[in-house]
């Protein structure tokens, strides 16, 4: 049997790869998992009552694009958060942002650009579905370094014009996973203008937008509206996973121009997995409530301060501006992960597993990613063990 060659160069996904790395070694203490970005803070109190009130609706097929009430709640949140006024025809509900980030290439990337194979730009390191999406449509994934030298954001404007003219879509993530960098307003404005000049779509992954240190991150929709950009140039994804601690609800949205969202809706009608109606009712309430988000953010801000104290004096340490990951500098990520596991029982993720090697260099190799999602006391204990083990 012959399998598609287009996925042959995909490496094993990060977490099975991590298990192969660490599981042969005994843990050096009570295991503490700090690898996956799975929120552990309490879910909002309104979730269970709303689910219970709508249990009977599990017997109905839900609308693919989202209920009118949920679309209105998302539009209201976008208006409140970013000042952008979007009608319901510019929004679609997602089964988590991963679905939208993958399907964006299927829905929006052309088969040919300038008579050539299209290119898909993505930061390096990056969220791994970006690369799989590019390969799925036969595009060339282009991994652009997002390192300390570039403020942990990709320098797309510095790419050769011939390459930019082939770009079909370009991904950006702010706050960035894994580095926690926040894209400034001028940076996003530059990317949107670059998309207009070279005729591509900017895909903005903003699922960490509500977890920030000092100031709320600016959003791509907000910037596009402010500079009067063509609405079709920007497509944004967000979800309830991080802001509301509802990763298991699998509820997110995509927003953009009318034509872009129409293409998403057409594709999803054939192959999408719509959210059950009880889940949509919970989501409607969650997008309309900021109290639980503010309480959640305060917990993470306390964790930011705690991490800063633990790693004070560590050369190269930078606390995140947003999100909930630490991107800690080490000599070699795999060696550091093995050492921490064998000596302390703490599991961390080698940064190289989130990046690709380009020209003989993997920009994640000299880092480990540490998720600050566990309860504060457990997280503090894990961070102290990492500090003592790796930095003395």
Listed in order, the ranges of the chain carrying CATH 3.90.1150.10 are 5-42+292-390
**Predicted local confidence at residue 2, as pLDDT:** 72
Burial grade of 229 (CB within 10 A; 0-12, 13-18, 19 or more): buried
Distance between CA atoms of 84 and 221, rounded to whole angstroms? Answer: 7
Provide, rounded to the nearest whole percent, the portion of the chain with pLDDT above 90: 96
pLDDT value at residue 4? 78
Number of H helices, E strands in the chain: 14, 12
∠ CA 184-75-190, rounded to 5°: 25
CA distance 170 to 121: 4
pLDDT value of position 7: 83
Q: Tell me if 77 sits within 8 A of 285, measured CB to CB.
A: no
Q: Are 374 and 334 in contact (CB under 8 A)?
A: no
Regarding the domain delimited by 61-289, which CATH topology (the fold level of the hierarchy) does it fall under?
Answer: 3.40.640
At 25 the three-state DSSP class reads coil
- The 10s digit of each residue's pLDDT in 334-366 is 999 999 999 999 999 999 999 999 999 999 999
Fold of the domain built from segment(s) 5-42+292-390: 3.90.1150
Rounded CA separation 110/51 (Å): 40
pLDDT given for residue 94 in this prediction = 97
The backbone region for 302, taken as left when phi is positive above 0, alpha when psi lies in -120 to 50, beta otherwise, is alpha
**pLDDT at residue 356, as a whole number:** 97
Residues of the chain with pLDDT under 70: none
Report the length, in residues, of the chain.
392
pLDDT the model gives residue 8: 80
Q: What is the pLDDT of residue 272?
A: 84
- Alpha-carbon distance of 325 to 379, in angstroms, equals 12
pLDDT digits (tens, 9 = 90+) for 253-300: 999 999 999 999 999 999 888 999 999 999 999 999 999 999 999 999
Strands 234-239, 201-205: pairing is parallel
Location of each CATH 3.40.640.10 domain in the chain:
61-289
């Amino acid at each position: 049997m012959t399998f598609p060659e287009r996925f042959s160069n995909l490496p094993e996904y990060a977490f099975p790869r991590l298990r192969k790395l660490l599981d042969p070694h005994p843990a050096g203490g009570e295991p503490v998992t700090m690898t996956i970005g799975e929120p552990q803070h309490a879910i909002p109190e309104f979730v269970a009552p709303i689910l219970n009130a709508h249990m009977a609706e599990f017997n109905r097929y839900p609308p693919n694009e989202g209920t009118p009430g949920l679309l209105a709640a998302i539009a209201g949140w976008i208006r409140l958060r970013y000042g952008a006024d979007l009608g319901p025809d510019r929004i679609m509900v997602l089964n988590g942002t991963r679905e939208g980030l993958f399907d964006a290439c299927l829905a929006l990337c052309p088969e040919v650009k300038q008579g050539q194979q299209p290119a898909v730009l993505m930061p390096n390191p990056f969220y791994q579905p970006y690369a799989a999406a590019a390969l799925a449509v036969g595009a060339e994934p282009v991994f652009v370094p997002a390192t300390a030298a570039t403020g942990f954001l990709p320098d797309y404007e510095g790419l050769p014009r011939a390459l930019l003219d082939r770009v079909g879509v370009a991904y950006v993530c702010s706050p960035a996973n894994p580095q926690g960098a926040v894209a400034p307003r001028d940076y996003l404005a530059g990317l949107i203008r670059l998309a207009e000049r070279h005729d591509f779509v900017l895909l903005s992954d903003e699922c960490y937008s509500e977890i920030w240190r000092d100031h709320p991150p600016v959003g791509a929709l907000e910037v596009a509206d402010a500079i009067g950009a063509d609405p079709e140039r920007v497509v944004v994804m967000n979800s309830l996973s991080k802001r509301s601690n509802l990763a298991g609800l699998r509820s997110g949205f995509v927003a953009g121009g009318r034509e872009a969202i129409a293409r998403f809706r057409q594709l999803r009608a054939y192959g999408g997995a719509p959210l059950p109606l009880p889940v949509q009712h919970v989501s409607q309430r969650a997008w309309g409530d900021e109290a639980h988000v503010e309480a959640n953010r305060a917990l993470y801000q306390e964790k930011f301060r705690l991490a800063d104290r633990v790693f004070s004096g560590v050369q190269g340490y930078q606390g995140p501006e947003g999100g909930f990951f630490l991107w800690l500098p080490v000599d070699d990520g795999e060696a550091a992960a093995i050492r921490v596991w064998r000596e302390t029982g703490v599991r961390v993720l080698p940064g190289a597993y989130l990046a690709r090697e380009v020209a003989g260099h993997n920009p994640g190799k000299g880092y480990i990613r540490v998720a600050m999602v566990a309860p504060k006391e457990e997280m503090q204990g894990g961070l102290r063990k990492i500090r003592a083990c790796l930095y003395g």
